[in-house]
Amino acid sequence: MTINEIQDEIIEEFSEIEDWMDRYQLIIDLGEEGDVLPAGEKNETNLIDGCQSRVWIVCDQNPDGTLTFRGESDALIVKGLVCLLLRVVNGHTPEEIRDADLYFIPQIGLAENLSPTRSNGLLAMIKRIKAYAVALSA
């Protein structure tokens, strides 16, 4: 699936849930199912600055050139946001990730329903992912 197809799928999933408390619960549930990083990867290099909670994101380049990100947070809702974001970008080339317009965030209402500090943290995560993509672009 393309990045846009994945975003459209997420938008569709969230459109079926009208109540924001239920949407928050879905995000928390995603966090409960997300990655658990080894202690050695929870370091200053992988820590995302600008997040209210502690968030770590690790990037691996696959043999075919695509990227796989893994992430974790000490807050379940933030870990769920990490999972949503990584669902969109994982398995794509650095160029696709670098050039992607992550329109699903405003479309599902995250921008206006997260606290300002969580919104800033989400932007910091996107910035880090895009920085990895730029650094690894051909």
Task: Count the alpha carbons within 13 Å of 65 in the hemisphere toward its beta carbon.
Answer: 7
Task: Please pick, among 51, 84, 122, 125, the residue that the annotation labels catalytic.
Answer: 51
59 carries an active-site annotation: no
Taking alpha carbons only, the member of 46, 50, 133, 138 closest to residue 96 is 133
- What phi and psi values does residue 70 have, to the nearest 5 degrees? -130, 145
Q: Hey, which residues are catalytic here?
A: 51
